[in-house]
Structure 1
Amino acid sequence: MPHWEDPPPLPAAWQRRDAAILPLWWERLCRQTSPQSAAIYAAGLFTDDRRRPIAQWYNEAADAALLVAPESSPEWPVQRFGIFYAPPGGGFTHVNSAPHEWHPRQPRQSPTEQEAFLAAVVEAERFLQVEMYFV
């Protein structure tokens, strides 16, 4: 890929943190809905730190975060990665994006789980590039 086609680097304030889902997600979702609704949102993603893979960026100065994680229930025939955004100042939103799906019953058929995940990560990084102009 020629240098001029390389994506620009992510804004320095956004640091990748994939080890564990940040408590910020649970807190913000509970404030926006209720603990009961938050517990079942995205198939329990924010109550159990078990759904992998995830990609997560955190901007400590702005107290903002971006998350790529499985959003569909594990028993569904089509799985999907969602992009979730916690903007500066509070709130929680699901970012509307292209569907990043895979079929677990056909693990070798494209798009695979890894391909879907990587496509969602690329889209999330593009979101961060745009987001820096508005915050």
Structure 2
Amino acid sequence: MPDWQEPQPLPATWQRCDTGILPLWWDRLCSQTSPQSAAMYAAGLFTEDRRRPIAQWYNPASDSALLVAPETSPEWPVQRFGIFYAPPGGGFTQVHSAPHEWHPREPRKSPTEQEAFEAAVAEAQRFLQVEMYFV
């Protein structure tokens, strides 16, 4: 990877916490939709906390968060990682980025699930670097 694409160290205000889905995601999603719609969003990712891998960053100073997680339903033939952002002050949005996809029926064919995940994490880290300029 060229030097300019190497992720820079994240600002100290962003803490990585991958152990479980933060309650903030459910609260933010419910504030924009109904609890029923929120429960179905991203195949129940925010209600069941069962799909892995995930990468998650939290900024307690601004009560904002960033999440990399599967966004497609498990039965789809192409799986994809999405990047979700909860900005300071409220709200919830999906960051539109390059598709970070893999084919579960061909687990050894590139891109693999791990390669797709690593690419999505790298893009999320670049997003956090840019986000710091606007907050």
Q: Where on the TM-score scale, by shorter chain, does this alignment land: which range?
A: over 0.9
Q: TM-score, normalized by length of structure 1?
A: 0.96
Q: TM-score, normalized by length of structure 2?
A: 0.96
Matched residue pairs, number?
135
Partner of 1:112: 112
Q: Distance in 2 between matches of 1:113 and 1:11?
A: 27
User: Which blocks of at least 5 consecutive residues in structure 1 are unaligned?
Assistant: none
Letter aligned with residue 122 of structure 1: A
User: Cα RMSD over matched residues?
Assistant: 1.4
Partner of 2:77: 77
The more displaced of 6-15 and 110-119 is 6-15
Q: Distance in 2 between matches of 1:75 and 1:109?
A: 19
Sequence identity (%): 83
C-alpha contact (below 8 Å) 2:7/2:122 kept by paired residues: no
Query: SS where residue 132 of structure 1 aligns?
Result: helix
User: Which blocks of at least 5 consecutive residues in structure 2 are unaligned?
Assistant: none
Q: Distance in 1 between matches of 2:78 and 2:41?
A: 17
Shift of 1:4: 7.2
Partner of 1:58: 58
Distance 1:73 1:6, change over 3 A: closer
For residues 1-20 of structure 1, the aligned pairs below 5 Å read 6-20=6-20
